[in-house]
Structure 1
């Protein structure tokens, strides 16, 4: 029981705090040994590829945002793919002749749509962006400057979740992404971002390889396969996509379960990355930042509680009793947060433990969905509180 207790605790601590601390120390040492400078050069031609599915309520706002981007018009091509959309999204886009529209009535999923669109891209750089996000004016400029480094195969932008005043528990998505953004900065400074977010990332067109049609996390797979080719994924925190949080905790739950199912699929498809002898730094980052959270951490939570309770029952010492009391208090806060979330009451002290537990429960659900083969790659549109995005 002592071994189970300490192994569970150490895995959880390392995954959620220890890795970040170790990464910070390693990056500090790297800064002493070398200074990485990104030189300014000639701006390349690029394609901004936007995936849109039934976005008639937001697409005009997205197009207006695209037209305001600070990048030479002659070097920026805008392409929007709307495969499977059944609303007025394609009709609205046709009003803008400068935008290239790709549309098929058949719905094959976002991955299939991106594969089809990439066959039409002729520029050396392609920037992927979701239709329900708004970019800061200098986003494209801040992405492309990193391609002056020939080792850079892709550049990940930052996702910012903009929560309104009454977003409730779903607003904790923003807290989570702030934490993730910090880790991404450190990951990129050590070597590479471990998996780009589809809201905003770019790649060298020549390095793109078509992704299997059943892939759920296309952005994750695309960026890590570029890593396997020997290139790094840089991080541009000054290029960001603003997105509202999920409309409700129910919508966020559906999204998290889908991402979790895709995470297990990705681990299988990217099994070469588990070989730390072949890819020492990349595998270290990948396992520490991603694999542990999707595999061992959800298992360690109940194991830590059960082993702790058993040790207290066996009279192992007062320290275990204090730790058990802290664990029980955490779960009480999380359950209270769940109860409040159902009533749209916003008290942040309950939301952090609730959201942490909520994410790990979603991983269990995603795992069973994956092994049963029930997770479709078909395009899924999440309801979001777009009024929060300014």
Structure 2
């Protein structure tokens, strides 16, 4: 039981802390990648693709933000994919902007992935950039992404996702923001070492010729697309100065829905990308993929309950043998119990709309791993579809592109 506990603790610590430290050391030893040489003009034709299912309230701001990009207008094209929308999105775009942007409409709702596959069949520009309708990009986002394609070994580029939270934000929102800050830190390290392992759908770019149609029931399309490109030997670069800003989930229930869907998609991705587990063929890519993604989805969530149960068994053994005078397992079990009690308290307060940020770290950590286990159950049941599922976002605030 002690060996089981030690192994599980080591796996969890490596997943959330050790991997970041190890990659940081490797990057320090190998050195950072040289900065991009942007002296020569480089403005290939680009299409900004915006999947927008029933996003009518966001469209005016999204179009204005798209038009404001600091990129030569004659080389920047727009395609809004409103397939399946029944809120008047297509009619609004056509009546308001007409020939200024492309619109791909349709009455049948076949899902985001099917819409993306259809959209890519119409793209003639060498670079395609995907961005969500409910996000705002900084004005240099397109330029920053495109610059990476000066390197012929770069097949895709991921932008950064930023969560905008206010001082009075919920624990879910605060936890989501902290999570993405840590993710951005790890992506910078991954990119310096070799390649990032998974783009965020809010903002990422691909070479059009490298895009492979994705299975229509795919949940994490952005993840699958970028990893398949990496699996073909291309780098997926990371550009933190190209970022998409959005509000956190409206409530803990909305965030739970989103996290379970992502976790189900994670297990689906592990199965479909199982060939990337061959470290003898893919080397650094396998190391990063397993350490950063597979262990977070499929290892750490299962280790946590094992740690608690094994620790409980060892603590009971100490209580039954008080003559030993050693209460290390009891102390560790008490600390674990306090941590999960704080997580439970954070959850209860959140349900009552009472927020205490001191509790959001244990709350969000526990919540995230519980959603991973729930996501596995959903994946095994086959109850997750690939159709678009909107999640409510926190109260509206004015988003301005820097």
Does the aligned pair in 2 maintain the 1:84–1:107 contact within 8 Å? yes
State the partner residue of 1:208. Answer: 211
Change (3 A) 1:303 1:363: same
What CA deviation, in whole Å up to 9, does each residue of 1:330-371 have, x standing for no partner? 001000000011011121111111111111111111111111
Secondary structure of 1:154's match?
A: strand
> Normalising by the residue count of structure 2, what TM-score does the alignment of the two structures yield?
0.95
What CA deviation, in whole Å up to 9, does each residue of 1:153-199 have, x standing for no partner? 00000000001233212212111100111000100110111100000
State the partner residue of 1:71. Answer: 71
Tell me by how many angstroms 1:57 deviates: 1.0
State the partner residue of 1:338. Answer: 347
Whether 2:85 is the aligned partner of 1:85: answer: yes
Whether 2:402 is the aligned partner of 1:387: answer: no
State the partner residue of 1:192. Answer: 195
Change (3 A) 1:246 1:35: closer
Secondary structure of 2:160's match?
A: strand
Q: How does 1:22-37 map to 2 (within 5 A)?
A: 22-31=22-31, 35-37=33-35
State the partner residue of 1:8. Answer: 8
Secondary structure of 2:55's match?
A: coil
Secondary structure of 1:234's match?
A: strand
Does the aligned pair in 2 maintain the 1:146–1:155 contact within 8 Å? yes
Change (3 A) 1:35 1:213: closer
Q: How does 1:165-184 map to 2 (within 5 A)?
A: 165-171=167-173, 172-184=175-187
Q: 2:368 aligns with which of 348, 356, 359?
A: 359
Tell me by how many angstroms 1:389 deviates: 5.0
CA distance in 2, matches of 1:289, 1:389: 34
Does the aligned pair in 1 maintain the 2:33–2:192 contact within 8 Å? no
CA distance in 1, matches of 2:123, 2:379: 32
Tell me by how many angstroms 1:386 deviates: 5.4
State the partner residue of 1:140. Answer: 142
Does the aligned pair in 2 maintain the 1:193–1:233 contact within 8 Å? yes
State the partner residue of 1:250. Answer: 253
State the partner residue of 2:56. Answer: 56
Tell me by how many angstroms 1:35 deviates: 4.8
RMSD: 1.1
Change (3 A) 1:353 1:35: closer
> Normalising by the residue count of structure 1, what TM-score does the alignment of the two structures yield?
0.98
Q: 2:234 aligns with which of 231, 235, 259?
A: 231
Q: How does 1:96-135 map to 2 (within 5 A)?
A: 96-97=97-98, 98-135=100-137
Tell me by how many angstroms 1:37 deviates: 2.9
State the partner residue of 2:321. Answer: none
Segments of structure 2 that go 5 or more residues without pairing to the other structure are 319-323
Does the aligned pair in 2 maintain the 1:162–1:389 contact within 8 Å? no
Segments of structure 1 that go 5 or more residues without pairing to the other structure are none
Q: 2:387 aligns with which of 372, 378, 389?
A: 378
Greater CA drift, 36-45 or 367-376: 36-45
Secondary structure of 1:375's match?
A: coil
